[in-house]
Amino acid sequence: MILDDIVEKVKIRVQNDKAEISETSMMAAARSAAGHLPPFAFEHALAAGDIGFICEVKKASPSKGVIAEDFPYVQIAKDYEKSGAACISVLTEPDFFQGRDSYLTEIKDAVHIPVIRKDFVIDAYQIYQAKVLGADAVLLICAILDTETLRRYLQICDSLGLSALVEAHNEEEVASAVRAGARLIGVNNRNLKDFTVDIHNSIRLRQLVPSDLVFVAESGIRTAEDIAELRNAHVNGVLIGETLMRVSDKTRMLNTLRGTRVKICGLRREADVDMVNELQPDYIGFVFAKSKRQVTDEQAMCFKKRLDPSITAVGVFVNDTVEHIAALCNSKTIDMVQLHGDEDAAYIARLRSMTDCPILQAVRVKGEEDIASGSVSTADFILLDTFHQEQYGGTGQSFDTELIPEGYRPYFLAGGITAETVSDAIRDLRPFAVDVSSSVETDGYKDYEKVKEFIKKVRETK
């Protein structure tokens, strides 16, 4: 079996590494590095919010051979981060995957999201080594480690602040991972005997993993339909390699896999909240700026208490004070901030120092220079909307979407989107989310049937 061949090569590699740097020296270096990174960042990134994407940097594999002849690994990792990946997986195994330890170190220095060293751990030395290389997590494979060894390796990981993705292939291995005390369990959908792949392996084995543990599906994930199935099975994260490595526009592919999200903006009645609780968009917007849809802080707080907690409440502001916005964030009245005025990088930095809420910055698009400014915004996300000389809020008009370049950062698309046009917009642009308000209203109020049809069109678009 190929796994046995890999393990034999790893044994030789570990012996050579120990000859170069002793186990005692490696352990000391790892413990010295233990305080330099946030502890357990990898699992925390996957435990928060919607299904998280672990995007893999991989040059080759035993089953597929060379996947990427051109292999700008650092740029690939940066593209993943820009595209909204939760974490990055870096193959460091050299003999079968053409990986290198230096790939991980260089990538970790270039990105700000957690990185896992994907290798074949057969010796505690490799765990300490991973910490020294800069990894936030390691892979521990049940097929090559018994329960007691897993338990011992997990204790070492905990002592270093490393997350451990414990990989299983079947019921027995899942049981071993749980008994060993794993907090993060991955199920590989690839059959190690014949290399066939079936994502339903993850779905079937998900039921055997306690709901309070983080669960990751690995291998063979290729379509938005696959992601939808895994999301419905309460999978926390997906590890995707070949599907991403074989495409040039990784942002577009990630958005295709993830599925475009929906924001319904301008809620101002209890009936609006009841409506979205039933129809389940991903985001809703409370407008605090002067507008016919403006709500007070007190109204927003009441609405938020009524809102399904799975829906993200976005507060929309125009040149407001950071103190006011931070107060609304810290009181949990809103979960996310949308800036729709002249707020600059210094304003965003000051707001970030006062709250942990993600920040969405609106860019009013008149020409290519506006698109370019959005690409360097320090906000977590940007919203592309139509430019209007006298208006800060949404215009209900569309802009020239051909100005958006290939590989552009994840963005919310607004401006003139309707139930009739949203499917084409998603297929052509693959935005992270679509934002709508006036086109789902009748006489200035949210219309149940229009909101329902809009969300239905988004969910159905592949």
pLDDT digits (tens, 9 = 90+) for 121-160: 999 999 999 999 999 999 999 999 999 999 999 999 999 9
Residues 130 and 268 both lie in one domain = no
Q: Among residues 258, 288, 318, which one ends one of the domains?
A: 258
The CA R_g of the chain, rounded to the nearest whole Å, is 24
What are the residue numbers of the active site? 56, 58, 118, 167, 188, 218-219
Residues 402 and 438 both lie in one domain = yes
Residues 267 and 175 both lie in one domain = no
**Residue among 341, 340, 338 at smallest CA distance from 358:** 338
Please tell me the predicted confidence (pLDDT) of residue 389. 44
Average pLDDT value for residue range 400-405: 84
Residues 39 and 132 both lie in one domain = yes
Residues 284 and 148 both lie in one domain = no
Instruction: Give Dmax (Cα) for the chain.
Output: 77
Q: Which of the listed ranges 23-32, 60-69, 256-265 does the model predict with the highest average pLDDT?
A: 23-32
Residues 285 and 384 both lie in one domain = yes
Residues 253 and 269 both lie in one domain = no
Instruction: Give the structural domain span for 343.
Output: 261-460
Please report which residue ranges of 233-344 form alpha helices under DSSP H. Answer: 242-245, 250-258, 270-279, 297-306, 322-330
Residues 245 and 274 both lie in one domain = no
| pLDDT tops 80 at residue 396 | no
Residues 124 and 265 both lie in one domain = no
Please answer whether residues 287 and 294 qualify as being in contact, where contact means their C-beta atoms are separated by less than 8 angstroms. yes
How far apart, in whole angstroms, are the C-alpha atoms of residue 430 and residue 257? 10
Please tell me the predicted confidence (pLDDT) of residue 193. 66
Q: How many domains does the chain have?
A: 2
How far apart, in whole angstroms, are the C-alpha atoms of residue 242 and residue 226? 15
pLDDT (tens digit, 9 = 90+) per residue, 191-226?
A: 766 667 888 999 999 999 999 999 999 998 988 888
CATH number at residue 265: 3.20.20.70
Task: Provide the pLDDT confidence category of residue 10 given band limits of 50, 70 and 90.
Answer: very high
| pLDDT tops 90 at residue 274 | yes
Average pLDDT value for residue range 299-304: 98
Task: Provide the pLDDT confidence category of residue 16 given band limits of 50, 70 and 90.
Answer: very high
Residues 183 and 300 both lie in one domain = no
Residues 224 and 304 both lie in one domain = no
Q: Among residues 258, 285, 304, which one ends one of the domains?
A: 258
**Residue among 132, 139, 137 at smallest CA distance from 114:** 137
Please tell me the predicted confidence (pLDDT) of residue 125. 98
